[in-house]
Structure 1
Amino acid sequence: MVNTLSELAGGPHAGIRSNHAKGLMASGYFEASKEASDITYAPHFNFPKTDVVVRFSNASGVPDIADSSPDGFPKGMAIRFMLPEEEYTDIVVISVERFPVKNPEDFLELLTAIKDSANAQTKPTPIEAFLEQHPETLSYVQLAKPAPMSYASEKFHGINAFEFENEQGKTVYGRYLITPLNGPEYLSDEEREQAANNYLLDELPVRLKDDGEAKFIIAVQIAEEGDAITDPTVVWPADRKIVELGTLTLTEMMKDAASYEKANMFNPLALPEGISPTNDPILLARPVSYAISFGRRLNP
């Protein structure tokens, strides 16, 4: 998967991520809500205040992709919560509610079909054949690809479910939902056409300098019996219960971002007690592929 992602991005690009290559980092803090302890005893959702670092990014391994490009969809957000004794836990989310495939094997087949279709002379092309056989992927491909006004005005979703446990031993399954305090905002078609290549990278530092902060609500959508918890292509009904976990506040751009990005990997399975993974095959494969890409960044 990593090899094919790099090839599709015209790489490998030395020292660069194989996906979500272009991005930037900010720092701030998270304040847990009173309701958070109802579903989990995880420390960062029970401490009054936890320091965080956040990386926003564009999809693809193209390091200079235009921020407004549909090929940079979905946007990514990775949050690292700093825990006591130099430990941490991460949340990794994207700006869409679903993943295009059910498992890593299908993902590799999808990437290979895209690659093999570049110069295909026959019909159906490999990607057309793949989409015909995978309606869940076709549904994903047909999603709207809006361009956010700012990384701070984008809404992010956890495509993988986790098991949350509270101090009484009660467990629920849920997916993260991260929403700008003032709601999402997107560029018009005209604004998108006129947007500079790095408009998102340029906008956030100005926003934090002028406004002093950018806020998000971190919540979790709770699954009900019968909801798919190991299939990231399935979107749960909108009427599922939402529990607010707290408020994320970004205060400044990270000063040593470049060195931190190179030396660190965000890992959705870096979990504290109170949160456990499901058997979602996409979730379980993510840290492995991330680690391969991370190793190549360190030793290009």
Structure 2
Amino acid sequence: MSELPPPNTTPAAIVDALKAVAGNPPKVRASFAKGRCVRGTYTQSESAGEITRSPSFTRPSRVLARFSVGGGNLKVADTNNLVLRGFSFRLGDEAHRSDILVESAPVHFARTLDQMLAFLEARIPGADGKPDAEKVKAFSAANPETLNQAHYIAARRLPASFAGTTYWGVHAFPATNAAGETRFIKFKLAPVGGDVTLSEDEARTKSADFLHEDLARKIAAGEVRFNVMALLDRPGDPTLDVTLRWPDEDKREEMRLGTIVITSLEADDACDGSIFNPAHLADGIGHPPDEIFAARRAAYAISLAKRR
């Protein structure tokens, strides 16, 4: 393994490193800076209670959500196929609120906080505005699991629409159902119309903001719908290592918790004035046990304070 930073890396150090990788732009999110705030509705399925007793997922509610493009650069082009697409959404009311964060890859780029900091520090640009390629190569060779996310992205074509992209939760959430039974699930947001992608030739004709322009058109046409799916665990599934997928994850049993319909664009202030806090989970969905999730609650609050 490569030399990692001292143990007990802090969430604040992660936020600083994310900002440094992006060139330290002021008053923007440390990650998924470019995005669009939206509103919608959630309707539960008849089988949601078999998976979780959470009022967030077993009752209808309004939805606040945000589509985004990965990285801390507000000017990243929507045609950039090396970064993630993100979707954050809030279900339920203030008494039973759940904030869920999903992205266009089913794994994270680091297993531990120490490894995440080392990954980011290897990619901080030098005086020429570019990261040290040899440093990145050496770190990747010593930590091959940190490339699992990049390999997943590279193997797929450019998403043609925020509304035509599958989004994954990389964490394993303990879900407790109406009968008091608990098992691990992973969240998956599946577009009702299926995934839509672009060829390289098609991508070259698109504007730097084409995903955002397309989103407005599709909302107006009533075409932004996602099934909220729960992937169901099996004995032996990894729940602590977010760089790994569950075995046969694409083929395993899943259940539909409900459906999100995005109905309108929303002023960005509605999403920017606070955070989608992954630690906000209504009873029936517990906190994942992995180290990355544990750090996210503090990291999001620190990022919010910095951009204010």
TM-score calculated relative to the size of structure 2 = 0.89
Q: CA deviation at 1:94?
A: 0.5
Q: Which runs of 4+ in 1 moved over 3 A?
A: 116-120
1:183 paired with 2:194, answer: yes
Partners of 1:138 and 1:198 lie apart in 2 by: 27
Task: Please report the RMSD computed on the Cα atoms of aligned residues, expressed in angstroms.
Answer: 1.9
Partners of 1:216 and 1:19 lie apart in 2 by: 23
Partners of 2:19 and 2:53 lie apart in 1 by: 39
Q: Deviations over 1:43-80 (max 9, x none)?
A: 02211x21101100000110111011134x21100001
Equivalent of 1:66 in 77, 99, 103:
77
Structure 2 unaligned residues grouped into runs of 5+: 1-13
Partners of 1:58 and 1:124 lie apart in 2 by: 24
Q: CA deviation at 1:25?
A: 1.4
Q: How does 1:103-114 map to 2 (within 5 A)?
A: 103-114=112-123
Q: CA deviation at 1:84?
A: 5.3
2:44 is matched with 32
Q: Deviations over 1:141-197 (max 9, x none)?
A: 333253211100010000001000012111110100111001110111111112101
Q: CA deviation at 1:118?
A: 7.7
Q: Is the 8 A contact 2:107 2:149 kept in 1?
A: yes
Q: Which amino acid aligns with 1:40?
A: T
Q: Which amino acid aligns with 1:91?
A: I
Count of residue pairs the alignment pairs up: 290
Q: How does 1:160-199 map to 2 (within 5 A)?
A: 160-199=171-210
Q: How does 1:247-262 map to 2 (within 5 A)?
A: 247-254=259-266, 257-262=267-272
Q: Deviations over 1:117-159 (max 9, x none)?
A: 7869xx9822111111111113333332532111000100000
Q: Is the 8 A contact 1:21 1:61 kept in 2?
A: yes
Q: Which amino acid aligns with 2:58?
A: N
Partners of 2:233 and 2:126 lie apart in 1 by: 38
Q: Is the 8 A contact 2:107 2:148 kept in 1?
A: no
SS at match of 2:298: helix
Q: Is the 8 A contact 2:29 2:72 kept in 1?
A: yes
Q: Is the 8 A contact 2:32 2:69 kept in 1?
A: yes
Partners of 2:218 and 2:23 lie apart in 1 by: 33
Task: Summarize the Cα distance change of 1:127–1:240 in structure 2 as closer, same or farther, 3 Å threshold.
Answer: same
Q: Which amino acid aligns with 2:19?
A: S
2:109 is matched with 100
1:43 is matched with 55
Equivalent of 2:136 in 127, 135, 158:
127
Equivalent of 1:245 in 244, 257, 271:
257
1:17 is matched with 29
Q: Is the 8 A contact 1:174 1:223 kept in 2?
A: yes
Q: Is the 8 A contact 2:25 2:73 kept in 1?
A: no
Structure 1 unaligned residues grouped into runs of 5+: none
Percentage identity across aligned positions?
29
Q: CA deviation at 1:7?
A: 1.5
Q: Which region of structure 1 is more displaced relative to structure 2, 3-12 or 151-160?
A: 3-12
Q: Which amino acid aligns with 2:32?
A: H
Q: Is the 8 A contact 1:28 1:251 kept in 2?
A: yes
Equivalent of 1:217 in 218, 227, 247:
227
2:124 is matched with 115
Partners of 1:67 and 1:114 lie apart in 2 by: 21
Partners of 1:4 and 1:264 lie apart in 2 by: 21
Q: Deviations over 1:61-108 (max 9, x none)?
A: 10111011134x2110000113155x5211100000111110111010
SS at match of 1:276: coil
SS at match of 1:138: helix
Partners of 1:124 and 1:63 lie apart in 2 by: 24
Q: Which amino acid aligns with 2:37?
A: M
